[in-house]
């Protein structure tokens, strides 16, 4: 048994949670799902969270009762069904949304659009009504379309702040760090690969030339590595053989992003994460680049930095797909609510 005096250091050691303890209410929408449950567990395990609000259309009373027995400070409450959604959101500083259907083998993220676009539009509408100032972190795919949908919904309510709406692409960075570390025999916790663009296939653009520590690969190995990072989600979908997409690694990545956000909101300086956001860095109106986070969300977009010719070509090739997915999201949002 763990001793209550000498509890093991929180196992989330990478860059997690070093700011002073403050109160923060965090909601997870889709909390009973494959991502939602382990993500809620990681959030419950953090001293940065004082209230954890778990919402889903199924099973949240059980998930909340289970998590509420864990000996950490976050007070857990479960909410079920649309009539309880407003209560789940009131007073939230951060809302994380992994609600929606995941891919099955042979599906692209865009194949999820019809189902998930409606779910994200409805949940965003509730956020705009009940916690318009909250940081909104969207995990639901296709992220390249769901962020424009959320942004349009917030605009309709007159509460849009582009510095507070984030498409969670952290899993692409986590994967890139792991794969580079494996190939180079490095400690993955000390590798940092920025990943820019979007979150689907060739719109996922790892900037290996900007990796810290510096790493070099022959062109064929670089192309194979880039392709593996772009298709890593599909690797998991195939291995799960119909049982869904990445859930555990996504929960880790989602928790990493939320903890970075909370650290920055609590005043920690120098917190940087990549995320798919409203952007003027390229011709695409939404684009992921490294962002300096602060008390009010995005403090500064750090931009693309210096790209290699190979990376420049990848950015160029991603543009038409990115712009198409963004437009599809914006047009959908015009028709709903």
Ligand X SMILES: NC(=O)c1ccc[n+]([C@@H]2O[C@H](COP(=O)([O-])OP(=O)(O)OC[C@H]3O[C@@H](n4cnc5c(N)ncnc54)[C@H](O)[C@@H]3O)[C@@H](O)[C@H]2O)c1
Q: How far is residue 239 from each of residues 14, 103, 234, 248, measured CA to CA in Å?
A: 26, 12, 8, 14
Q: Does 89 bind ligand X (CB under 6 A)?
A: no
d(CA 42, CA 262) in angstroms, rounded, equals 14
**Are 142 and 111 within 8 A, CB to CB?**
no
Nearest 5°: the CA angle 59, 64, 67 is: 125
- What does the alpha-carbon distance between residue 304 and residue 291 come to, in Å, rounded to a whole number? 10
Look up 199 and say whether it is catalytic.
yes
Interface with ligand X (CB under 6 A), residue from 29, 64, 92, 232:
29
Of 17, 46, 77, 141, the residue at the interface with ligand X (CB under 6 A) is 141
Query: Is residue 319 near ligand X by the rule CB under 6 A?
Result: no
Closer residue to ligand X (CB): 56 or 209: 56
Q: State yes or no: 100 annotated in a binding site.
A: no
CA angle 31-36-42, nearest 5°? 110
Residue placing its CB nearer to ligand X in the complex, 131 or 250: 250
In the region spanning residues 231 to 290, those forming contacts with ligand X, defined by CB under 6 A, are: 244-247, 250
Q: Among 244, 219, 220, which residue's Cα sits nearest to residue 234?
A: 244
In degrees, to the nearest 5, what angle opens at C-alpha 56 toward C-alphas 50 and 57?
155
Q: Does 35 bind ligand X (CB under 6 A)?
A: yes
Should residue 139 be labelled a site residue for ligand X when binding is judged by CB under 6 A?
yes
* Cα angle value 83/89/92 (rounded, 5°): 170
| Chosen residue from 102, 194, 198, 290 binding ligand X by CB under 6 A | 102
Q: Which of 168, 193, 271, 333 binds ligand X (CB under 6 A)?
A: 168
CB of 9 to ligand X, least distance (A): 27
Q: Which of 140, 177, 226, 282 binds ligand X (CB under 6 A)?
A: 140
| Residue 100 binds to ligand X (criterion: CB under 6 A) | yes
Active-site residues, by number, are 199
* Known binding-site positions: 30-36, 56, 103, 109, 116, 139-141, 175, 250
């Amino acid at each position: 048994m763990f001793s209550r005096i000498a509890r093991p250091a929180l196992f989330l050691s990478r860059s997690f949670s070093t700011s002073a303890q403050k109160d923060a209410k965090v909601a997870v929408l889709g909390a009973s799902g494959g991502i939602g449950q382990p993500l809620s567990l990681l959030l419950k395990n953090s001293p940065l969270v004082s209230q954890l609000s778990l919402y889903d259309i199924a099973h949240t009373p059980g998930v909340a009762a289970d998590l509420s027995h864990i000996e950490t400070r976050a007070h857990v409450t479960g909410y079920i069904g649309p009539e309880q959604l407003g209560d789940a959101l009131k007073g939230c500083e951060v809302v994380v949304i992994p609600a929606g259907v995941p891919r099955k083998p042979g599906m692209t993220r865009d194949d999820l659009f019809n189902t998930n676009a409606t779910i994200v539009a409805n949940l965003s509408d509730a956020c705009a009504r009940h916690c318009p100032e909250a940081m909104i972190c969207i995990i639901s795919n296709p992220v390249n379309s769901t962020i424009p949908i959320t942004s349009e919904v917030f605009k309709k309510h007159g509460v849009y702040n582009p510095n507070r709406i984030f498409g969670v692409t952290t899993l692409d960075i986590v994967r890139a760090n792991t794969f580079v570390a494996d190939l180079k025999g490095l400690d993955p916790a000390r590798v940092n690969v920025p990943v820019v663009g979007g979150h689907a296939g060739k719109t996922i653009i790892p900037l290996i030339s900007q990796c810290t520590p510096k790493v070099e690969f022959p062109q064929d190995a670089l192309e194979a590595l880039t392709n593996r990072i772009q298709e890593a989600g599909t690797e998991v979908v195939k291995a799960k053989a119909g049982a869904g997409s990445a859930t555990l690694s996504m929960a880790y990545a989602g928790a990493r992003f939320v903890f970075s956000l909370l650290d920055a909101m609590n005043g920690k300086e120098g917190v940087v994460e990549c995320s798919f956001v409203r952007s003027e860095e390229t011709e695409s109106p939404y684009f992921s680049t490294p962002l300096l986070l602060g008390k009010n969300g995005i403090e500064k977009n750090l931009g693309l930095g210096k790209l290699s010719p190979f990376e420049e070509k990848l950015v160029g090739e991603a543009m038409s797909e990115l712009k198409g997915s963004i437009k599809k999201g914006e047009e959908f949002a015009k028709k709903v609510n």
